[in-house]
Amino acid sequence: MASFAFYLGANALFAQAVLAFNCSIPPIYVDIHKRAVHDSPAFQYGSFIGLGTPAQNQSLWPSLSQNHTSFSSNTFCDNSTLKDCDRSTGGFYVKEDSSTFKPKGKDFQPLDKQNDSSRGLFASETVRLYTHYFETDGASQTLLEDVDIEVVVNSSTTPSIVGIGQASTILQGLVAQNKIAARTYSLYIGQGFDRAGGSVNGSNAFGGYDSGRFTGQAHSFSMNTANRNPFSVTVKDIIITETGNPNSNTSLFDAKKFPSAKQPSAFTAQITTDQYPLSLPYQITQNFIKHLDATKDNYWGDNSLKLRSQFNGTLSIVIAGDNGDFTVTLPQEVLVNASNITPIQDRTEASSAPFLLSTAFLSQVYLMADFETFKFYLAEAVQKNNIVMPETFCPKAVPSAYERPKQGAWMKQGLIGAVIGGVLGGIGIAICAYCFVLGCQRRRAEKRVERAIEKSKQSKMAQFEVEEVQSFDPPPKASKVLFWKRGKK
Ligand SMILES: *[C@@H]1O[C@H](CO)[C@@H](O)[C@H](O)[C@H]1NC(C)=O
Ligand SMILES: *[C@@H]1O[C@H](CO)[C@@H](O)[C@H](O)[C@H]1NC(C)=O
Ligand SMILES: *[C@@H]1O[C@H](CO)[C@@H](O)[C@H](O)[C@H]1NC(C)=O
Ligand SMILES: *[C@@H]1O[C@H](CO)[C@@H](O)[C@H](O)[C@H]1NC(C)=O
Ligand SMILES: *[C@@H]1O[C@H](CO)[C@@H](O)[C@H](O)[C@H]1NC(C)=O
Ligand SMILES: *[C@@H]1O[C@H](CO)[C@@H](O)[C@H](O)[C@H]1NC(C)=O
Ligand SMILES: *[C@@H]1O[C@H](CO)[C@@H](O)[C@H](O)[C@H]1NC(C)=O
Ligand SMILES: *[C@@H]1O[C@H](CO)[C@@H](O)[C@H](O)[C@H]1NC(C)=O
Ligand SMILES: *[C@@H]1O[C@H](CO)[C@@H](O)[C@H](O)[C@H]1NC(C)=O
Ligand SMILES: *[C@@H]1O[C@H](CO)[C@@H](O)[C@H](O)[C@H]1NC(C)=O
Q: Which fold has domain 28-179?
A: Cathepsin D, subunit A; domain 1 (2.40.70)
Region class of 306: left (phi > 0), else alpha (psi between -120 and 50), else beta: beta
For the CA atoms of the chain, what is the radius of gyration? 23
Fill in the DSSP letter of residue 406: P
Classify residue 261 by its DSSP letter: S
Kindly report the protein residue whose alpha carbon is nearest to atom 1 of ligand 2. 201
How many angstroms from the chain centroid is the CA of residue 275?
12
Ligand closest to the CA atom of residue 77: 3
**Ligand 4 atom nearest to CA at 227:** 7
SS3 label, residue 219: strand
Pocket of ligand 10 (CB under 6 A): 310, 312
Residue 404 confidence (pLDDT): 72
Residue 446 phi, psi (nearest 5): -60, -45
Report residues of the chain scoring pLDDT below 50: 1-12, 15-16, 409-443, 452-469, 474-489
Right CATH for 212-396 from 3.40.630.10, 2.40.70.10, 1.20.1250.20, 2.130.10.10:
2.40.70.10
**Alpha carbon of 240 to ligand 9 centroid (Å):** 9
Atom of ligand 5 nearest to the CA of 66: 13
Give the list of residues 6+ apart from residue 117 with CB closer than 8 angstroms, or none.
none
Q: List C-alpha distances in Å: 62 to 47, 70, 181, 211, 336.
A: 7, 10, 20, 20, 25
Distance 15 CA to ligand 1 centre (A): 20
Question: Do the first three CATH levels of 28-179 and 212-396 match, i.e. the same topology?
Answer: yes
The partner residues of 469 in beta bridges, in order of sequence, read: none
Domain residue spans in the chain? 28-179, 212-396
- At residue 473, the pLDDT reads 53
CA of 18 to the centre of ligand 6 (A): 37
Bridge pairing between strands 44-51 and 56-63: antiparallel
Closest atom of ligand 6 to CA, residue 138: 5
What pTM was estimated for this model as a whole? 0.85
Among 63, 68, 71, 79, CA closest to 40: 71
CA 353 – ligand 8 centroid, Å: 27
Residue 370 to residue 383: CA distance in whole angstroms: 23
Q: Counting runs of H as helices and runs of E as strands, what totals does the chain give?
A: 10, 24
Tell whether ligand 7 has an atom less than 6 A from the beta carbon of residue 155.
yes
Q: Give the per-residue pLDDT at 420.
A: 45
Which pLDDT value is given to residue 368? Answer: 98
119 CA distance to ligand 5 middle (Å): 13
Q: What is the pLDDT of residue 422?
A: 40
What is the pLDDT at residue 464?
31
